[in-house]
Amino acid sequence: MDKLQGKVAVITGGSSGIGLAAAKLFVAEGAYVFITGRRQKELDEAVRAIGGNVTGIRGDVANLDDLDRLYESVSSTARRIDIVFANAGIAEFATLDNITEAHFDKLFSTNVKGVLFTVQKALPLLNNGASIILTGSVASAKGTHAFWVYGATKAAIRNFVRGWTVELKDRGIRSNVLSPGPIDTPIIDQQPPDAIARILSTIPMGRMGQVDEVAKAALFLASDDSSFVTGIELFVDGGRAQI
Ligand SMILES: NC(=O)c1ccc[n+]([C@@H]2O[C@H](COP(=O)([O-])OP(=O)(O)OC[C@H]3O[C@@H](n4cnc5c(N)ncnc54)[C@H](OP(=O)(O)O)[C@@H]3O)[C@@H](O)[C@H]2O)c1
């Protein structure tokens, strides 16, 4: 119950799904968490659901001014950060013949640019020995019908942590990607059911994952339990990436 005692965590996209489950678990393990999301109502509900040791800060990770406001708020209250969980992300399907510039820009702005600047702008506040966790996806390693722009965004951030592992080593900062397979969250409800059924049929464990199963892996990467783990992509996907 105290794996994160006294630690401060920033979790983008902490108002729903995987981020919210991680925020609840991190607080239960002794952390203070700052959660973000664009929608105020969902953010307020998440803060209530977490119950304590949490601040909600509204903002879009693709907007650099919003990120500046986030870290101004963190630095004025907590001052330092031990864990950055750059988790906010969006998913959309589109085939090569109907893909648009807007689809590409939207996915890359949130899933790649948003992740990069979430971490860059956290750097001055990060303690030595901090843990950076990015939410990737099994889609980074698999070819999936109409889902490869999304997959490309997650493959891009996979390389970020390889580079940061080298760049941040003198500060003892570890960087890892946590890559879920299909997990039962609102993001899944927004996708075409036939596409989700196709993906589910390829999972060796034969089922969708639950948010708590991803949150426990996030806790491992956030805590000292993973003190010699950096630069990896940890799949929490019922085996899908391995076959
Ligand atoms: N569920 C899955 O099957 C699955 C599988 C692999 C990877 N993932 C990844 O897991 C992460 C979390 O997804 P989830 O499944 O938990 O989905 P979710 O329940 O829809 O949660 C997404 C969270 O991100 C926030 N968000 C989205 N765009 C944002 C932006 N531009 N700026 C700030 N916050 C933003 C959302 O809040 P607002 O909408 O209010 O901004 C929400 O809090 C994503 O990176 C996703 O790609 C999910």
Predicted confidence (pLDDT) per residue in 66-98, tens digit: 999 999 999 999 989 999 999 999 999 999 999
114 pLDDT band, cuts 50/70/90, is very high
Q: How many whole angstroms separate alpha carbon 73 and alpha carbon 79?
A: 9
Among 38, 40, 65, 198, the mutation site with the greatest number of ligand 1 atoms within 8 A of its Cβ is 38
| Domains of the chain by residue range | 8-236
Which architecture, in CATH terms, is 8-236?
3-Layer(aba) Sandwich (3.40)
C-alpha 52 to ligand 1 mean position (Å): 22
C-alpha 170 to ligand 1 mean position (Å): 31
Q: Of ligand 1's atoms, which has the minimum distance to the CA of residue 190?
A: 20
Question: Within 13 Å of residue 85, how many CA atoms lie on the same side as its CB?
Answer: 35
The answer to whether 8 touches 80, Cβ cutoff 8 Å, is yes
Q: How many whole angstroms separate alpha carbon 238 and alpha carbon 242?
A: 9
The pLDDT of 138-154, averaged and rounded, is 96
172 pLDDT band, cuts 50/70/90, is very high
Among 54, 150, 187, 234, the mutation site with the greatest number of ligand 1 atoms within 8 A of its Cβ is 187
Q: Which residues line ligand 1 (CB under 6 A)?
A: 12-13, 15-19, 36-39, 42, 60-62, 87-91, 110, 114, 135, 137, 180, 182-183, 185-188
52 pLDDT band, cuts 50/70/90, is very high
The catalytic residue positions are: 150
